[in-house]
A and B are shown apart, each in its own frame.
Chain A
């Protein structure tokens, strides 16, 4: 009660009073904000292009599927991007999981090391090379696979094919995307499974469980958040991939191919942009393509936000 005013010492500036430190800290902070500025810049630039397009085309730009003047609508392309990604996920996720289970729990150390390097190398293949490979090698082979799928599983709606044309299908495009996703998803899942605490594996072994039950009840639940994160990372790549898909997918606006994955023709926003940009008839068509880019960007942002939510939620449950 001797004095009513407490005199606080200035701790903040004392801590950073060293001049070199202060400069360094500010540089780092500035660099960190650059990422935000770039993200905001892209959003604003694309958004500004999208506004006049929405003014002239209305919401039809998002809900119809047509690309002939004066009407433009990208619904088929937006939907196609998602369909290709789903096909890619269905192929890539099981393949990546099996691959990483083998590398973590079954393979001798040297085999696991060699495989790890090979898979990482796969990620380094430029997508244009993959596209060329898919065009010359994969497509003809894939057509035969699809004929077999149609012959034996044709009663499932996904594997129906009315036209008899098996080239330029969402299946082939999705397969190429899967090949691009596998290295990303595998390196994350391998890392996550490899972090399963050895004492939990010990516990499971001592309770007499098989590799399958150990994975099912111990390793997969333990790494759930990381595994989902890895899959979403791969999905982000699949949604935006352009050039590899460009080589093998036949772009069709109408009718929209909703689920016949082995029927010729499909859509992809990214591929639409690269296909039409060079031959755009004028500034208005360029603006339309930029607007399409804006909605693709929004879609990938949405996927990432959802992925983050899922990862955070499962992460919290575990504690």
Chain B
């Protein structure tokens, strides 16, 4: 009996130590983006309340939670797409490299170029070629970058698509498969040189093979840029994310963050009972 008790204590200690190391490691990593007390309304309806999350540089953060808890809404506040919806309102601050992106002097176009986005449904421009799609961000924003050929090769390589399309860059983007289209869209987002990439359920419309490829791409990209990904797939969060935030909205109350921290903690040793239930598939 005595040995068992001794073992329990030891396990607790080790976990405590791990937690400490994790938090110290986080403290040493510079923060790329941070939200402070974000609340969001659509017309009169409050859909998010008091969300504060820090996104360390060159890390992957997963936002998980059941449908309708405000994850997608939250991610759209991070590059000022939220404000394009009529009746949308917001309180709190979103800091990017330490300054508020909603400050009056900030140009939202500049923010959207630094903080790129990939959506749920692959959305290449159908009237453009593969190459045209990759370069479309430069064209649409009026951004000037030389070496278009290099950009096309680099970004398609980063997105894990180069080998599949290098011989038909002038083919219509619509001819690609769904998974290829999604990687093309990632390349398109990378071409304007963003520091942060937001991904709103990027694999939910894809088959398992394509999903795996996108996940590899995400891991690879996170060596260079900061990634924030909304996902319904908990295995995906475990596979790709360094940190995880769990969102929940109950009984008509606005969504909020129940728990956040290193992914291993959220899935292996959650502090909140609701997190434990959700990550074990008991609801959602």
Residues of A that sit less than 8 Å from B by CB: 108-109, 197, 199-200, 202-210, 213-214, 217-218, 221-222, 224, 317-319
Interface of A (DSSP majority class)? helix
State the interface size on chain B (CB cutoff 8 A).
32
**A–B pairs, 16, beta carbons within 8 Å:** A202-B81, A202-B119, A203-B185, A206-B79, A206-B116, A206-B117, A207-B188, A208-B110, A209-B109, A210-B109, A217-B125, A217-B139, A221-B125, A222-B126, A224-B127, A318-B126
User: When A217-B125, A218-B125, A319-B174 are in contact, do A207 and B136 touch as well, CB less than 8 Å?
Assistant: yes
User: When A204-B140, A208-B112, A213-B140 are in contact, do A108 and B86 touch as well, CB less than 8 Å?
Assistant: yes
- Please report the C-alpha to C-alpha distance between residue A146 and residue B192 in the assembled complex, in whole angstroms: 49
For A204, the chain B residues whose CB sits under 8 A away are: 140
Query: Which residue of chain A is the closest to B122 with respect to CB atoms?
Result: A199
Query: For window 102-158 of chain B, which residues contact chain A by CB distance below 8 Å?
Result: 108-113, 116-117, 119, 121, 123-128, 136-137, 139-142
- Please report the C-alpha to C-alpha distance between residue A303 and residue B121 in the assembled complex, in whole angstroms: 40
CB distance from B166 to the nearest CB of A (A): 23
For B27, the chain A residues whose CB sits under 8 A away are: none
- Please report the C-alpha to C-alpha distance between residue A222 and residue B127 in the assembled complex, in whole angstroms: 6
**Could you tell me if B113 and A203 are in contact, using CB atoms closer than 8 angstroms?**
no
Q: Is B43 an interface residue (CB 8 A)?
A: no
Given A207-B140, A208-B112, 5 new contacts (CB under 8 A):
A202-B119, A208-B111, A208-B140, A217-B136, A218-B125
For B137, the chain A residues whose CB sits under 8 A away are: 207-208
- Please report the C-alpha to C-alpha distance between residue A217 and residue B174 in the assembled complex, in whole angstroms: 16
Q: Is B84 an interface residue (CB 8 A)?
A: yes
CB distance from A119 to the nearest CB of B (A): 22
Choose among A207, A218, A221 the residue that contacts B192 (Cβ–Cβ < 8 A).
A207
Q: Which 7 A-B pairs have the closest CB atoms?
A: A209-B140, A208-B112, A221-B127, A199-B123, A206-B117, A208-B109, A207-B137
- Please report the C-alpha to C-alpha distance between residue A279 and residue B126 in the assembled complex, in whole angstroms: 58
**Could you tell me if A197 and B112 are in contact, using CB atoms closer than 8 angstroms?**
no
For A199, the chain B residues whose CB sits under 8 A away are: 119, 121, 123
For B142, the chain A residues whose CB sits under 8 A away are: 213
**Could you tell me if A217 and B119 are in contact, using CB atoms closer than 8 angstroms?**
no
- Please report the C-alpha to C-alpha distance between residue A108 and residue B125 in the assembled complex, in whole angstroms: 27
Query: Which residue of chain B is the closest to A209 with respect to CB atoms?
Result: B140
- Please report the C-alpha to C-alpha distance between residue A214 and residue B174 in the assembled complex, in whole angstroms: 19
Residues of B that sit less than 8 Å from A by CB: 79, 81, 84, 86, 108-113, 116-117, 119, 121, 123-128, 136-137, 139-142, 172, 174, 185, 188-189, 192
CB distance from B193 to the nearest CB of A (A): 12
Interface centre among A109, A202, A203, A209 (most CB of B within 10 A): A203
Query: Which residue of chain A is the closest to B188 with respect to CB atoms?
Result: A207
Choose among A197, A203, A209 the residue that contacts B141 (Cβ–Cβ < 8 A).
A209
CB distance from B213 to the nearest CB of A (A): 20
For B139, the chain A residues whose CB sits under 8 A away are: 213, 217
**Could you tell me if A205 and B185 are in contact, using CB atoms closer than 8 angstroms?**
no
Query: Which residue of chain A is the closest to B107 with respect to CB atoms?
Result: A208
CB distance from A214 to the nearest CB of B (A): 7
**Could you tell me if B125 and A203 are in contact, using CB atoms closer than 8 angstroms?**
yes
- Please report the C-alpha to C-alpha distance between residue A172 and residue B141 in the assembled complex, in whole angstroms: 41
- Please report the C-alpha to C-alpha distance between residue A108 and residue B86 in the assembled complex, in whole angstroms: 8
**Could you tell me if A206 and B127 are in contact, using CB atoms closer than 8 angstroms?**
no
- Please report the C-alpha to C-alpha distance between residue A207 and residue B138 in the assembled complex, in whole angstroms: 8
Query: Which residue of chain A is the closest to B198 with respect to CB atoms?
Result: A206
CB distance from A204 to the nearest CB of B (A): 6
**Could you tell me if A205 and B81 are in contact, using CB atoms closer than 8 angstroms?**
yes
- Please report the C-alpha to C-alpha distance between residue A94 and residue B139 in the assembled complex, in whole angstroms: 24
**Could you tell me if B112 and A205 are in contact, using CB atoms closer than 8 angstroms?**
yes
**Could you tell me if B192 and A203 are in contact, using CB atoms closer than 8 angstroms?**
no
CB distance from B3 to the nearest CB of A (A): 58
- Please report the C-alpha to C-alpha distance between residue A217 and residue B117 in the assembled complex, in whole angstroms: 19
For A207, the chain B residues whose CB sits under 8 A away are: 112-113, 116, 136-137, 140-141, 188-189, 192
For B141, the chain A residues whose CB sits under 8 A away are: 207-209, 213
- Please report the C-alpha to C-alpha distance between residue A222 and residue B189 in the assembled complex, in whole angstroms: 20
CB distance from A69 to the nearest CB of B (A): 57
**Could you tell me if B119 and A203 are in contact, using CB atoms closer than 8 angstroms?**
yes
- Please report the C-alpha to C-alpha distance between residue A207 and residue B112 in the assembled complex, in whole angstroms: 6
Query: Which residue of chain A is the closest to B79 with respect to CB atoms?
Result: A206
For B140, the chain A residues whose CB sits under 8 A away are: 204, 207-209, 213-214, 217-218
Query: Which residue of chain A is the closest to B120 with respect to CB atoms?
Result: A199
Query: Which residue of chain B is the closest to A203 with respect to CB atoms?
Result: B123
- Please report the C-alpha to C-alpha distance between residue A197 and residue B174 in the assembled complex, in whole angstroms: 14
For A318, the chain B residues whose CB sits under 8 A away are: 126-127
CB distance from B119 to the nearest CB of A (A): 6
CB distance from B93 to the nearest CB of A (A): 21
Interface centre among B119, B125, B192 (most CB of A within 10 A): B125
For B126, the chain A residues whose CB sits under 8 A away are: 200, 222, 318
- Please report the C-alpha to C-alpha distance between residue A318 and residue B125 in the assembled complex, in whole angstroms: 10
Query: Which residue of chain A is the closest to B142 with respect to CB atoms?
Result: A213
CB distance from B283 to the nearest CB of A (A): 30
- Please report the C-alpha to C-alpha distance between residue A143 and residue B172 in the assembled complex, in whole angstroms: 51
- Please report the C-alpha to C-alpha distance between residue A202 and residue B185 in the assembled complex, in whole angstroms: 12
For B112, the chain A residues whose CB sits under 8 A away are: 205-208
- Please report the C-alpha to C-alpha distance between residue A222 and residue B124 in the assembled complex, in whole angstroms: 12
User: When A217-B140, A221-B127, A222-B127 are in contact, do A206 and B192 touch as well, CB less than 8 Å?
Assistant: no
For B86, the chain A residues whose CB sits under 8 A away are: 108-109
